[in-house]
Chain A
Amino acid sequence: MNVTFRGGVHPKGRKELSREAPLRRFDPEPCEMVFPLAQHIGKPAKAIVKKNDPVLVGQKLADADGFVSACVISSCSGTVKAVEKRRTIAGTMTECVVVDNDGKYSPVEGLGERQELSGLTNQDILDRVKNAGIIGLGGAGFPTHVKLAPKAPDKIKYLIANGAECEPYITCNDQLMRSQAAGIVEGLEIALRLYPNAECVIGVEDNKPEAIASMRKAVEGKKRMRVLPLHTKYPQGGERSLIRVIAGVDFPVSMLPADVGCIVLNVGTAYAIGRAVAWNEPLYAHVLTVTGEAVREPGNFIARDGTSFAQLLEACGGVKEGVTPAKALSGGPMMGVAVGSLEVPIQKNTNALTLLAEDPLEKAEKQMTFCLHCGRCSTVCPNGLVPALMADAIDMKNWERYEKKLYGLDCIACGCCTYICPAKRPLTQMFKQTKAEIMARKRAAQAGGKK
């Protein structure tokens, strides 16, 4: 048994569906490619192309607007068809750059050329990361150049590479670690230059022995770098869970990882940093798994941003015969978002399409009862919250108690409580909504105060 954190759950991994499928590139035939301007946390990017502009692979379509923002890079060559509102994974209509892909994939000049790294200053590294449009590929999509620039870089003790991949079904990072270990380590070495006092720890769940072996081989002889096998448990790959395991620190939601001396990067992000800084290749393609019981041949891809889920599913042989998909998820079943249509573009932080043959929620809804106060939710909460009491406080509209006594805002929405609840109560969903409401009320109060 390897090191782990308190709480957590053990949903069925189902990684066997796709874990042995090697990464393959997927370049769609001439088609329409859609690039949302708001793929990251922060301000949406500002489009710098207009209709009928010719674009090349690696060309910037939109520039970061402000500090916490990220630019958007074209993954194909062709002409800009429109800058308009399109439906995205979140289900809403958002501003997108639509490119008519000519299928030639002609690159911009210098794309993929080896760069000289010795003379680079820290600021150069951050600038390249920023211009490559890199955001956290683990899911949240926080702009990486912001994350890499904490107030006190010399106080960073751990640079944590997140290769846990605790989300069920998803296997693309497993395959990335197996085949591109050197590329990941290259990116981590570049990032490590920013933190003179840090050690780089690559955390991988122990259900991926090949990936652990491959990463171990890649870090051999490297200074300040090691691979740490982790116990297989959801949410082992959560930022806080990893910091808990590696640095031994718990910290409230009001603090950032950098405040406790940690920077956490997804292995995919680390790889993207390496490609961007050392090979002049901005982030326009990333790894992604297409899996689920309803997919004929589940697989792992290096997919180009802007490709639609439907195209990727087609590349997997489509839907398995005799199966009717019940639910399509962008991401895995724990953190993923259900999508109503597969005609939506994948984004930088889209790590999977999971097509479920059966919706487990249909059964769960029939089993729903009142809360028993069994306390299973609080035993699995990785933050040590008491979800049942939080739900009671919501029922009674007691926001004061929710926030001050139960620390409800510390919920990271990992979904463990909802998963484990024998009464099948939609706890995480309530907490997400309540958090949004409380934050909105606070912002309104602040705005009112200023006037």
Chain B
Amino acid sequence: MNQTLNLSAGPHVRDRWSTAFIMRMVLLALMPATVIGIYTFGLKALWVVLVSVVSAVGTEFLFDKLTGRPDTWKDGSAALTGLLLALTLSASTPLYAPLIGSIFAILVVKCAFGGLGKNFINPALAARCFLLISFPNAMTIYSLDGVASATPCAELAAGRVVNLTSMFLGTANGVIGGSILGLLIGGLALWAFDIIHGQICFTVLGAFTVFMGLFGGKGFDPGFLAAHLCGGGVVLGAFFMATDYVTSPMSRLGQTFYGLLIGVLGAVFRIWGAAADSFSYSIITANLFTPFIDTYIVDLPFAYRRRAVERRAPGWVKKPLLKSIPKPVIALTVIALLAGLALSGAYSLTKDSIDAQKAAAAAAAYKTVLPEAESFEPMTAQVEALEGQVYGSGFGRVYINEAMAGKDAAGNVVGYAVSVTSAEGYDGNVTLSLGVSADGTINGVSFTELHETPGKGMLWAEEENLSRFAGKSASKLTLGTDIDAITSVTVTSKAVVNAVNAGLDFINTQLRGE
């Protein structure tokens, strides 16, 4: 036997699981949700997924080649980042979004910090937030079967009723990875195979639910809580984003704390902030706390835990125990709580003045659309009769908020003003005030809520476009014939005209008759 023998320090065997194997398992676990997403949203979703995954892997490949680093693009983590990003996007997102997002995630968030294992926030979520900030409008087009509409989560935020079953199955409008069923299959499998830590995902869900129950305004109403859990990426976040190894703490106590932070922040952001993206921001915020948590919260070795020390008979030297909870952790908790309280406190302190301002704005709007009137008298009975349901049929999802009878100095009715909201704007709600003279002709239109694409949907707010409505007296306006549409602003135009028509209809049938 003369051949050379390998020399190395032990142990000399290794487990079958490698980094690449774990990444593949997570990819596999995401498949149910991906497949359901593609089934629901069609080929468009497949394209978003493909563009995202391919550009993520491609970016890492190029980075490896150009910098002469080892071939890390093969380990599956880039593909995972790409897929996760795609699942947080709408199928209607223009394809440049997943492309730019994946490049940002891999190049800036991951590779620039040293590659897998060295990134300090979740690359997929960072990319999503980057896209949300860079392309706020392109990122928020949600359409299903060619019909643009608000997501269940946005409707929930507006206090409306949502269809839980379709949310659970993933057939509701929303992001590609919206199928709670698919996510739960994958997520629970990962947990069962010990790939993700139960103390993170279940703490996130638990803390979120409890906080929503306490401060969500609806108490512990099962339907309300279930709807919130099913919407806005809570499940995707809890099982696949929060549990990302690199950006979550190591110790059990630390992981629980981290889970609490995400759950509570997610609920705080959802109740008092932008509903749809609350979880992205809460997880990224918690990611930033991870190094801090890992520094201060470390699980004690078995031999130093209180139980073990007590078990060893007395008389032996007692090693110092965990000095209860480290001070920085207490400080962190207090800061997090204070921030939450400050948010809610500021909200309630300013609520009255916000309401007053809103009322003033509304009054001003009514005055604009019905200048002849000296005073406005609310017509609450007719509005309340609608019970907050979608108004009429053929107007899409339109709601009547308020109705006023405008009177002159002598007290005669000179016209009516209504506030109407269409939930089918390009970017959420479009709310306008509509003034109609006593003879039934439109006096004026004014927007109280319009956040559409600048240069496109926002054009409706301009004087010349608004004035298109004035003087019309048809009981129902048709886009294109009665009212000129603004070129390539289809969605907003439709919503605006629908809202005006609904308002007209309401005034004609419910108010003027009296």
Contacts and interface: CB of A to CB of B under 8 A. Distances in A.
B21 A422 contact: yes
A374 B245 contact: yes
A41 to B, nearest CB: 18
Contacts of B308: 249-251
Interface string B64-108: 000000001001000000000000000000000000000000000
A369 B5 contact: no
Given A318-B1, A375-B197, 13 more contacts: A333-B13, A335-B10, A338-B9, A340-B7, A364-B14, A369-B72, A378-B250, A384-B299, A386-B299, A410-B303, A423-B18, A423-B19, A423-B117
B12 to A, nearest CB: 4
A407 interface: yes
B14 A389 contact: no
B245 A419 contact: no
A364 B18 CA distance: 8
Interface string B230-271: 000000000000000110101100000000000000000000
A423 to B, nearest CB: 5
Given A249-B308, A373-B245, A405-B298, A259 B316 contact: yes
B6 A422 contact: no
Contact of A424 (B18, B114, B194, B302): B18
Nearest to A372: B245
A378 B312 contact: no
A364 B14 CA distance: 7
23 contacts: A9-B15, A310-B1, A327-B8, A329-B10, A329-B12, A333-B10, A338-B9, A359-B8, A360-B12, A361-B8, A363-B14, A370-B115, A370-B117, A372-B117, A378-B250, A378-B251, A378-B299, A379-B194, A383-B302, A410-B301, A423-B19, A423-B117, A426-B9
B159 interface: no
Given A370-B115, A373-B248, A337 B15 contact: no
B327 interface: no
Contacts of A250: 301-303, 305, 308, 311
Contacts of B301: 250, 252, 383-385, 407, 410
B327 to A, nearest CB: 14
Contacts of A252: 301, 303-304, 319
Interface in B155-195: 194
B328 to A, nearest CB: 13
Given A250-B308, A327-B12, A429-B9, A369 B250 contact: no
A389 B1 contact: no
B299 A251 contact: no
A356 B11 CA distance: 13
B10 A337 contact: yes
B129 interface: no
B3 interface: yes
B13 A384 contact: no
B148 interface: no
B116 interface: yes
Interface in A409-438: 410, 415, 418-424, 426, 428-429, 432
Contacts of A202: none
Contact of A386 (B18, B250, B312): B250
A121 interface: no
Contacts of A335: 10-11
Given A252-B303, A369-B75, A384-B300, A428 B10 contact: yes
A371 B115 CA distance: 11
B372 interface: no
B20 interface: yes
Interface string B17-31: 111111000000000
Given A325-B1, A384-B302, A407-B301, A12 B13 contact: yes
Nearest to A259: B316
B9 A369 contact: no
Contacts of B194: 379
A253 B303 CA distance: 9
A254 B320 CA distance: 13
A379 B255 CA distance: 14
Nearest to A334: B11
Interface residues on A, range: 35 or more
A319 B294 CA distance: 50
B456 interface: no
B118 interface: yes
B12 A333 contact: yes
A339 interface: yes
Interface residues of B, number: 49
A134 interface: no
Contact of B116 (A318, A372, A418): A372
**9 closest residue pairs by CB, A with B:** A370-B117, A415-B11, A384-B302, A250-B308, A250-B303, A250-B302, A333-B12, A367-B18, A429-B9
Contacts of B114: 370
Nearest to A389: B250
A336 interface: yes
A423 B22 CA distance: 10
A261 B312 CA distance: 10
A375 B483 CA distance: 64
Nearest to B5: A328
Contacts of A244: 302
Nearest to B71: A366
A342 interface: yes
Given A251-B312, A422-B21, A415 B10 contact: yes
A248 interface: yes
A52 interface: no
Given A329-B12, A406-B298, A361 B6 contact: yes
A261 B313 CA distance: 10
A246 B302 CA distance: 16
Nearest to B300: A384
A48 to B, nearest CB: 34
A105 to B, nearest CB: 27
A384 B252 CA distance: 11
Interface in B263-301: 294, 298-301
A334 B9 CA distance: 10
Contacts of B116: 369-370, 372
Contacts of A197: none
A133 to B, nearest CB: 26
A122 interface: no
Nearest to B311: A249
A187 interface: no
A83 interface: no
A159 to B, nearest CB: 18
Interface string B354-369: 0000000000000000
A115 interface: no
A422 B250 contact: no
A83 to B, nearest CB: 28
A267 interface: no
Contacts of B15: 9, 11, 419-422
B14 A248 contact: no
A250 B301 CA distance: 9
A447 interface: no
Nearest to A313: B1
A123 interface: no
A166 to B, nearest CB: 12
B179 to A, nearest CB: 26
A342 B1 contact: yes
A406 B12 CA distance: 25
Contacts of A361: 6, 8, 12, 14
B10 A336 contact: yes
A424 B6 CA distance: 18
A251 B318 CA distance: 11
Contacts of A388: 250
A281 B200 CA distance: 60
A442 interface: no
Given A341-B5, A367-B20, A369-B19, A360 B115 contact: no
Nearest to A328: B5
A344 to B, nearest CB: 12
B298 A389 contact: yes
